[in-house]
Amino acid sequence: MRSTRATAAIARLNARDPGHDYVMTTTRDGHFILSEWVGDETKAVTAPCDLESFVALVNGMGPQQEKRMTKNDIAFQKQLTKKDKGA
């Protein structure tokens, strides 16, 4: 189903930003709209957009989580910075 990626993006946004309750609506022509529950009604946050734009927009909203870094990732980053300084 097309909207699975969009639904997952909304779920991640709601988990990152617990102070807001975001929902997604779809239009007849297949576009997605991000809305927020305010009281007993919803207010549109975005204009209708296609799936790719919608997911990118929702992923960029709200507080962002830091990416987990393993010991190997940290060591690799150190090696990259050493090579950049030596060049």
Each residue's pLDDT tens digit, 22-56: 999 899 998 999 999 888 898 888 899 999 998 99
Q: Say whether 75 sits in a helix, a strand or coil.
A: helix
How many domains does the chain contain in total? 1
pLDDT at 84: 62
62/44 Cα distance (integer angstroms) = 16
DSSP 36: E
pLDDT at residue 65 is higher than 80: no
pLDDT at residue 85 is higher than 70: no
Task: Report if pTM > 0.85.
Answer: no
Which residue range(s) make up the domain with 21? Answer: 3-86
